[in-house]
Structure formats: structure tokens, C-alpha cells
């Protein structure tokens, strides 16, 4: 449950820190991608586009792990294991713009591709570990 996430861990996901999302490939091997991350008060949110490996992996197996380290101090970090409980396109375009503002200081996501369809993964934390001032 998200209640396991202490305030310091939540803050890591709310700040402009890069996360690393691990999904499970069809052969059982891990696939890890650096990601912009967000927290909505209950779920960890990541935003991606249709056609990539992550959505294929998550639709097949919703188990994920995500770690996040504090920008400028990698010894302050959190690691979360959980499940993607929802994949939604609702609000995904606005969300990627919000993340662009958070990470780049830009009002719009600058790398949109023609015909790209954005989606948000809502990750429910199940196990949370942290180190440092969190």
C-alpha cells in the first residue's frame, strides 16, 4: 500500500529526480529504463508512449520495480517494488507536459512524435526501501 511510503520517499518522487523502472521481459529477464517520475499522493506515475517495450512487458506482467536517487546525491535513494494497477491515456498528454516543466523548465514536452500516443502507468507500491535522509 502507498501508506508504506514515508514523506521523504514521496518527496524523492515529487522532486526532479530520475527514476529507473524495471519491467519483466517475456523470457523473465529484467528490462530497465531511466524515467521521469511523479507521485499523485497514492501512486507512483510514469509516462511513456505506445509501441515501446515497457507497455508490452507491463500488459503481460504488471510487476515492476522502480528506484529513484536524489539529484546530486546518489546516496539518498528509494527502491520500490509494486504493480502497475492502471494504464491510462486520460490526461497523459497534460502529464508529460507537467513532467517537462518539472524536469526541463519547459511548458511543453519537446520530443513529441507525430502520431505518438502517451500513457500513464499507475504503480501501487508494495515494498519500499530507502537510504539517506528520506
* Residue 5 grid coordinates: 511510503
Given a contact cutoff of 8 angstroms between Cβ atoms, the answer to whether 88 and 122 are in contact is yes
**Domain architecture of the chain: domains with CATH:** 2-129 (2.30.110.10)
Given a contact cutoff of 8 angstroms between Cβ atoms, the answer to whether 124 and 83 are in contact is yes
* Residue 40 grid coordinates: 499523485
Q: Tens digit of pLDDT for each residue in 117-134?
A: 999 999 999 999 999 867
Confidence tier at 78 by pLDDT (50, 70, 90): very high
What's the whole-model pTM score?
Answer: 0.93
Amino acid at each position: 500500500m502507498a501508506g508504506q511510503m514515508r514523506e521523504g520517499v514521496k518527496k524523492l518522487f515529487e522532486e526532479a529526480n530520475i527514476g529507473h523502472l524495471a519491467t519483466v521481459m517475456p523470457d523473465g529477464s529484467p528490462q530497465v529504463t531511466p524515467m521521469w517520475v511523479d507521485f499523485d499522493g497514492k501512486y507512483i506515475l510514469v509516462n511513456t508512449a505506445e509501441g515501446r517495450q515497457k507497455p508490452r512487458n507491463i500488459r503481460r506482467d504488471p510487476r515492476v520495480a522502480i528506484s529513484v536517487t536524489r539529484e546530486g546525491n546518489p546516496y539518498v535513494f528509494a527502491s520500490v517494488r509494486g504493480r502497475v494497477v492502471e494504464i491510462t491515456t486520460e490526461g497523459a498528454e497534460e502529464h508529460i507536459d507537467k513532467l517537462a516543466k518539472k524536469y526541463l523548465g519547459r511548458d511543453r514536452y519537446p520530443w513529441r512524435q507525430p502520431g505518438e500516443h502517451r500513457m500513464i502507468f499507475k504503480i501501487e507500491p508494495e515494498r519500499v526501501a530507502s537510504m539517506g535522509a528520506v
